[in-house]
Structure 1
Amino acid sequence: MNTVAPDWLWAFFIVSVLVALFVDFVVLKKQGAHEVTVPEAVRWSIIWVALSLAFNALFWWALKTHEDPAVAAEANTRAFEFLTGYLIEKSLAVDNIFVFLMIFTYFSVPPAYQKRVLMIGIIGAIVLRTVMILVGGILIAKFHWILYVFGAFLLLTGIKMWWAAGKEQDLEDNPALKLLRRFMPVSKEFDGEKFWTVENGKRIATPLLMVVVLVGITDVIFAVDSIPAIFAITDDPFIVLTSNIFAILGLRAMFFLLAAMAAKFHLLSYGLAVILVFIGTKMLLIDIYKIPVLVSLGVVVGILAITMVWSVRTAPKLPEAKPKALPQGN
């Protein structure tokens, strides 16, 4: 797998991720179990986006100042590929977040415990996606035709997502949940942030462990969609990996932010479906016509913007509170 990124930038990326995880998982752990407020989620979302853009700027500078003129000439294109990939992964994560929200609601997970579940989910997602991206990169390098398989898969997934958008999902029919319940006795009550508890002298799982497992399974399912999507933008493993990981690092803050305004973006699933269909089509046409990166970026941003504005304008209005009657004097 060939990449334009210099070795020192790979090292910088790895160190940056480890530092970010240390801050997010060790320093913030001192806060203990607490409910993440909207202002806190907004602050952390801004921080993660700023760090991602700063890394992209460093990536552009590393290429622009490269001693090889051919590499330097690709700086703008590669930076736009990172940005497009980052936006795609970030937007596809929105649908992932809505499923997380459904799982938390189904199990009535207290807001104070949700943070730990998401922290563990992020670690699992980083490891899983790194492996899948490396394997995907090797497969594409050896078997070019697999791009058509990815493209057809994304096209069908987008159509399926459009069909399912707006329909209420029932977690009770989830096969993974049924399988877990068959092999894993679960307590009816939470035991703080513990995954295991003791009932009648037996060590059994708590509902929080079930939630963690389901979140992990959900991420596996969504990774199958999102990773082929980024390969439609670029075949550079560095860009694929870094844009994916930076999108995941901000997932926890993004969850608490979107959870507070989920109703306002009720049409977002339709926009994500259109994005997947566009990316799948782009991948199927790759040997006939390669859609420019700037066009892809414009399409993704445009679809997201239209869908979000449309969602806000058509959001169901809350019933107006009736004024209380004033007490009548005698």
Structure 2
Amino acid sequence: MDVTLGVWTASIGAIVAMLLVDLVAHRRAHVIGVREAAAWSAAWIAIGVTFGVVVWQVYGATAGQAYFAGYLIEKSLAVDNVFVWAIIFSYFAVPRQYQHRVLFLGVLGALVLRGGFIAAGAVLIERFSWILYVFAAFLLFTGYRMLRQRDEHLDPERSRALRLFRRYVPMTDAFHGQRLLVRSRGVVLATPLLAVLVLVEVTDLVFAVDSIPAIFAVTDEPFLVFTANAFALLGLRAMYFLLADLIHRFVYLKIGLALVLVWVGLKMLVKIDLYYVPTALSLAVVATILATSVVASLVATRGQGRRSLPAPQDPPFRLATDEETARLEPLLRRRARARTR
């Protein structure tokens, strides 16, 4: 597959442009409702599918099938991110109107991080073919571990990343709107929103370690790996606001995700020396596993409506008082004057 520098540049430019559109559309802090989240989710999926159709038309059916298989794998594994984000936001009692800013910056960081992972993975595969055995073994182990730990969830209180952040970074214990940093008595302090963002980025790092080898099991073409990742991630924020109150209904989804990882691990293992599983067959198997787990979950929990995760009785962070916010006004006015000059 011959992808020119111009195609790479145009694709990355389009992704950056869509991020900017999303940022401008949500520049004002507000609660994103189900209807708005559903509309944005549909739009992002349509964009991702349209890009796949273009790849299919320009580079052929094999490339198109590889893109869609990778997109579906990344999109499904990203649902696990949604569940973890819901736990984090609930534990820290992050106001819903501020959550989009954290997720936007989190996804932006994830795109950069995964771009680096993909580049490193492509170089390793090209130079050391035996690394595919390591990727396959890792996927099989991860799938097995996910099956064993399917009822376990992240405990933010025990997060080492959060403990290290709070130990070494001066911070306030109150949310100050969407601000990540504030100045108090001449000292710059991190807000709880920055601490939450750090935890979101750390959890995405963990998920990236699982998802990047999984998509390399489908295709080793860096362009397809990166674009499938990027377009799957672009709609992740809207997916969160659409599904966050329904996570209690997807009781079998984690089993489905574990089986997907086991499948792609086996596919990678047999591809090395034994047999190349057609991409169309791989796509069909992944889609069947995911559809079965989702339908079984919805049937098992029918009658249950939306339900937010319970917030802790004594959350670690709070909203800033009017008096505390007023102290920041002189600083905000100076910044506003500086921008108008």
**Equivalent residue, structure 2, for 1:278:** 263
Aligned length: 304
Counterpart for residue 133 of structure 2? 148
Amino acid at match of 1:77: T
Structure 1 residue 157 corresponds to structure 2 residue 142 = yes
AA aligned to 1:312 is L
Once structures 1 and 2 are overlaid, which stretch shifts more, 168-177 or 6-15? Answer: 6-15
Aligned to 1:66: none
Supply the RMSD in Å over aligned alpha carbons: 1.7
Deviation at 1:200, TM superposition (A): 6.5
Alpha-carbon distance in 2 for matches of 1:206, 1:310: 41
**Residue ranges of structure 2 left out of the alignment (5+ in a row):** 306-341
What pairs with 1:204-223 in structure 2 (closer than 5 Å)?
204-223=189-208
Which of these residues, 28, 33, 40, is aligned with residue 25 of structure 2? 28
Query: Given that residues 140 and 147 in structure 1 are in contact (C-alpha distance below 8 angstroms), is that contact kept between their aligned partners in structure 2?
Result: yes
How far is the alpha carbon of 1:176 from its aligned partner? 1.4
User: Percentage identity across aligned positions?
Assistant: 47
Code of the aligned partner of 1:300 = V
Question: Partners in 2 of 1:170 and 1:123 — Cα distance?
Answer: 24
Shift of 1:7: 4.3
How far 1:234 moved relative to its partner?
A: 0.6
Contact kept, 8 Å, 2:249 with 2:304, in 1: the verdict is no
CA contact (8 A) 1:34 1:113 kept: yes
In structure 1, what is the Cα distance between the partners aligned to 2:150 and 2:118? 28
Write the deviation string for residues 72-106 of structure 1: whole angstroms up to 9, x where unpaired.
xxx11110000000000000101111111111111
Extract unaligned runs of 5+ from structure 1: 64-74, 320-330
One-letter amino acid of the counterpart of residue 289, structure 2? I
Q: SS of the counterpart of 2:274?
A: coil
> Which of 281, 298, 312 does residue 295 from structure 1 map onto?
281
- Give 1:314 deviation, angstroms: 1.2
Query: Structure 1 residues 257-266 or 213-222, which shifts more?
Result: 257-266
- Cα distance in 2 for partners of 1:238, 1:106 equals 38
Map of 1:259 onto structure 2: 244
Letter in 1 for 2:277: I
Structure 1 position 171, deviation (Å): 1.8
8 Å CA contact retained: 1:81, 1:234: yes
Q: How does 1:318-329 map to 2 (within 5 A)?
A: none
| SS of alignment partner, residue 3 of structure 2 | coil
Which of 4, 14, 17 pairs up with 2:15? 17
Please report how far the alpha carbon of residue 188 of structure 1 lies from its aligned counterpart in structure 2 after TM superposition.
Answer: 2.1
TM-score, with normalisation over the residues of structure 1? 0.88
Which letter maps to 2:71? Answer: Y
Identify the match of residue 181 of structure 1 among 162, 166, 169.
Answer: 166
CA separation of 1:318 and 1:307: change in aligned 2, threshold 3 A: closer
2:295 maps to 309
Deviation of 1:215 after TM superposition, in Å, equals 0.7
Distance in 2 between residues matched to 1:291 and 1:142, nearest whole Å: 23
Q: Quick check: 1:51 aligned with 2:51?
A: no
SS at match of 2:172: coil
Tell me, yes or no, if the aligned pair for 1:97 and 1:255 is still in contact at 8 Å: yes
Query: Which moved further from structure 2: 7-16 or 95-104?
Result: 7-16
Determine if contact 1:38/1:260 at 8 Å carries over to the other structure: no
Contact 1:155 1:281 in 2 (8 A): yes
User: What secondary structure is seen at the aligned counterpart in 2 of 1:260?
Assistant: helix
C-alpha distance 208-276 of structure 1, shift in aligned 2 (>3 A) = same
Q: How does 1:239-258 map to 2 (within 5 A)?
A: 239-258=224-243
CA positional deviation for 1:132? 1.0
State the distance in 1 between where 2:220 and 2:91 align: 39
Contact 2:107 2:233 in 1 (8 A): yes
Distance 2:281 2:120 in 1: 28
Do the aligned partners of 1:4 and 1:236 also contact (CA within 8 Å) in 2?
Answer: no
Q: Deviation of residue 10 (structure 1)?
A: 2.3
Partner amino acid for 1:225? D
Corresponding letter in the other structure for 1:310: A
Work out the CA distance in 1 between the residues paired with 2:304 and 2:42: 29
Q: 23, 34, 39: which one pairs with 2:35?
A: 39
Per-residue deviation, residues 211-254 of structure 1 (Å, max 9, x unmatched): 00011111111111111111000111111111111111111111
TM-score for both structures, normalised by structure 2: 0.85
